């Protein structure tokens, strides 16, 4: 499924955590968000997952605007940044785990 982020802005009490961010992720594409601490990577992921709502802009799953949908309605999986990682596994194994589980469910 394609994910499109279109001119998304997120403010926390007037602090602009994201300012007019746009991103296209094609179906089947694997991406990485890289940047320094405080650059908005986690905020963007939280918006896509539905843990936060954008102040402005839209997030599409395919052709459907999911911007105001609840986390339950989005059917999106995610792994938390730190404490949910499997500490006994390598970074590559942690990344691959979700893909293996999803492939096995298909």
Domain harbouring 17, CATH code: 3.40.50.300
Single pTM value for the model: 0.72
Please indicate, yes or no, whether residues 12 and 42 belong to a single structural domain of this protein.
yes
Cross-strand bridge partners of residue 22: none
CB atoms within 10 A of CB 41: 16
Number of domains in the chain: 2
Please indicate, yes or no, whether residues 11 and 49 belong to a single structural domain of this protein.
yes
Please indicate, yes or no, whether residues 8 and 51 belong to a single structural domain of this protein.
yes
Domain encompassing residue 13 = 3-75
Please indicate, yes or no, whether residues 60 and 105 belong to a single structural domain of this protein.
no
Tens-level pLDDT at each residue, the chain (106 residues): 899 999 999 999 989 999 999 999 999 998 888 888 889 999 999 999 998 999 999 999 999 999 989 888 888 877 666 555 677 888 788 778 877 877 665 4
List CB contacts of 53: < 8 A, sequence separation 6 or more: 47, 67, 68
The number of helices, as runs of H, and strands, as runs of E, in the chain is 3, 4
């Amino acid at each position: 499924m394609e994910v499109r982020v279109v001119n998304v802005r997120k403010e926390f009490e007037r602090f602009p955590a994201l300012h007019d961010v746009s991103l296209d992720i094609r179906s089947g594409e694997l991406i990485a968000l890289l940047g320094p601490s405080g650059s908005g990577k986690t905020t963007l992921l939280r918006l896509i997952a539905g843990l936060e709502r954008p102040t402005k802009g839209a997030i599409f799953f395919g052709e459907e605007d999911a911007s105001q949908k609840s986390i339950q309605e989005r059917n999106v999986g995610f792994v938390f940044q730190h404490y949910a990682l499997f500490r006994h596994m390598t970074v590559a194994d942690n990344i691959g785990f979700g893909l293996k589980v999803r492939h096995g469910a298909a």
